[in-house]
């Protein structure tokens, strides 16, 4: 049977269905599909399967549509291309379902049909995402997160990179909404910052094992937009643990992106946040980062040419870089208006904690300055310099000693704090040896000068 005859027969059977003889039309189409399937005629089999679904859809018999989808997928030797085609056709019907229950039922039917079939794994992922969105809209965030976690899109060779990244970010977002920060971190690690570099010009459109990469689904943002979404997700994750250094790095990555660098208002807003979070980050080594990381970020931010547009923030960074004491009351009054412009940082419940952390950073800076200039100081004087009560001064100094930010010992009976770590015996001996060598060198040079003067003016050494 040629193509024209096939089209004519399909059209006749569809007309039969319009007359109300749906079962008779379906039987005819299924018999026709069987002939083409056994003959391995891909195009004709696909056309027959499509006609079956059209008959059910035109009759708005959604239950019958689900039954026919399952039936077609289970027919012996069913062609992969035919399955892929009618699954995509059925996905197009989702937005035309009369109610949510019908839509969910159709999605679950298609999920059952696509389960375990690699050639329709992308369609299955998209269906799962739609189902998760429905559950989230119903307020069932935990269930939506569980549904979406079932799909590991990072193993899909034919899925576009942008769609993969968008899918994983959606998984991570739902985990954060659910409060599962451990799983959110695992999901976020599946995305490398290098993934946001568009390499289409160098690698072509061929994926794993030579599979052709399919076009991303409608509504998938560009890689540049996904980059911003990724770092916003990471900021949300790190904000839960008050990891200010990582938050600062995320804002810096956003600040350096092309989408932001061309928008003055955006980069100014991000640069302000970078300045605040870099000073909120501890200047001493912690479990997650070393002191050099914060210092490097502080210096690079201070040297940013765009910071000339933000003189108050530049001055603030300079204060933390200088080896000078800062008074918290003066600092707070000086930057009160600047802090009020950042409700995202210093507003709400987190804002109170960050304000406390900022005061703590000022105190830690002052202790480091004192340790740089003093080897011995009374606790009373130290309290005056830090502008803190005596008990709080001792507490903050002890915390910095525990964190190995400074080395100090407190003599409570005498009320004295001593800075400076004890030197090892070999260091003391080396230092003594170096001092002796310098002394002997100085004596030798002095003797040479005396002899030179004696010979020049002919004055014997030792003469009266």
Secondary structure, 3-state, the chain = CCHHHHHHHHHHHHHHHHCCCHHHHHHHHHHHHHHHHHCCCHHHHHHHHHHHHHHHHHCCCHHHHHHHHHHHHHCCCCCHHHHHHHHHHHHCCHHHCCCHHHHHHHHHHHHHHHCCCHHHHHHHHHHHHHHHHHHHHCCCHHHHHHHHCCCCHHHCCCCCHHHHHHHHHHHHHHHHHHCCHHHHHHHHCCCCHHHHCCCHHHHCCECHHHCECCCCCCCCCCHHHHHHHHHHHHHHHHHHCCCHHHHHHHHHHHHCCHHHHCCHHHHHHHHHHHHHHHHHCCCCCCCCCCHHHHHHHHHHHHCCHHHHHCHHHHHHHHHHHCCCCCCHHHHHHHCHHHHHCCHHHHCHHHHHHHHHHHHHHHHHHHHHHHHHHCCEEEHHHHHHHHCCCHHHHHHHHHHHHHCCCCCEEEECCCCEEEECCCCCHHHHHHHHHHHHHHHHHHHHHHHHHHHHHHHHHCCCCCCC
pTM of the model: 0.82
- Quick one: tokens of 86? 């009618």
Below-70 pLDDT ranges, the chain: 1-4, 198-212, 288-290, 462-464
pLDDT at 204: 40
pLDDT at 199: 62
Residues in the chain: 464
pLDDT at 212: 64
In angstroms and rounded to an integer, the radius of gyration of the C-alpha atoms of the chain is 37
- Tens digit of each residue's pLDDT (9 = 90 or more) over 243-302: 999 999 999 999 998 888 888 999 999 999 999 999 999 887 777 666 778 889 999 999
pLDDT at 318: 94
Report the alpha-carbon distance of residue 278 to residue 273 in Å, rounded.
Answer: 8
pLDDT at 351: 87
- Tens digit of each residue's pLDDT (9 = 90 or more) over 101-143: 999 999 999 999 999 888 889 999 999 999 999 999 999 999 9
Give, in degrees to the nearest 5, the angle at Cα 124 between 121 and 126: 115
């Amino acid at each position: 049977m040629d193509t024209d005859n096939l089209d004519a027969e399909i059209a006749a059977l569809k007309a039969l269905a319009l007359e109300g003889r749906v079962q008779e039309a379906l039987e005819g189409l299924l018999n026709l599909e069987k002939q083409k399937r056994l003959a391995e005629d891909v195009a004709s089999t696909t056309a027959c399967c499509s006609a079956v679904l059209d008959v059910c859809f035109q009759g708005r018999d959604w239950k019958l549509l689900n039954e026919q989808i399952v039936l077609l997928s289970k027919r012996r030797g069913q062609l992969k291309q035919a399955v892929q085609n009618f699954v995509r056709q059925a996905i197009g019907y989702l937005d035309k379902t009369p109610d949510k229950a019908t839509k969910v039922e159709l999605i679950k039917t298609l999920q059952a049909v696509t389960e375990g079939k690699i050639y329709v794994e992308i369609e299955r992922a998209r269906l799962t995402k739609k189902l998760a969105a429905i559950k989230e809209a119903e307020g069932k965030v935990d269930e939506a997160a569980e549904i979406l976690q079932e799909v590991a899109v990072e193993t899909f060779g034919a899925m576009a990179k942008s769609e993969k990244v968008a899918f994983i970010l959606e998984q991570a977002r739902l985990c954060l909404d659910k409060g599962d920060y451990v799983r959110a971190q695992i999901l976020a690690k599946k995305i490398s910052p290098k993934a946001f570099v568009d390499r289409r010009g160098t690698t072509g459109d061929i994926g794993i094992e030579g599979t052709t990469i399919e076009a991303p689904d409608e509504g998938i943002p560009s890689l540049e937009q996904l980059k911003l979404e990724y770092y916003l997700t990471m900021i949300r994750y790190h904000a839960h643990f008050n990891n200010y250094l990582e938050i600062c790095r995320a804002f810096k990555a956003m600040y350096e992106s092309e989408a932001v660098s061309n928008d003055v208002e955006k980069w100014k807003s991000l640069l302000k946040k970078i300045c605040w979070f870099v000073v909120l980050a501890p200047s001493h080594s912690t479990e997650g980062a070393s002191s050099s990381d914060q210092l490097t970020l502080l210096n690079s931010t201070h040297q940013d040419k765009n910071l000339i547009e933000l003189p108050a923030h530049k001055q603030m960074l300079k204060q933390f870089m200088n080896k000078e004491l800062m008074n918290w009351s003066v600092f707070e009054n000086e930057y009160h208006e600047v802090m009020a412009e950042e409700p995202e940082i210093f507003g709400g419940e987190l804002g109170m904690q960050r304000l406390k952390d900022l005061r703590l950073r000022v105190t830690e800076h002052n202790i480091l300055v004192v340790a740089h200039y003093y080897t011995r100081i009374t606790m009373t004087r130290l309290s005056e310099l830090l502008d803190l009560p005596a008990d709080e001064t001792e507490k903050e100094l002890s915390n910095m000693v525990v964190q190995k930010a400074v080395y100090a010992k407190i003599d409570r009976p005498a009320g004295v704090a001593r800075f400076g770590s004890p030197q090892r015996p070999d260091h003391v001996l080396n230092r003594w040896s170096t001092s002796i060598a310098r002394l002997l060198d100085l004596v030798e040079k002095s003797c040479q000068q005396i002899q030179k003067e004696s010979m020049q003016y002919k004055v014997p050494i030792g003469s009266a």
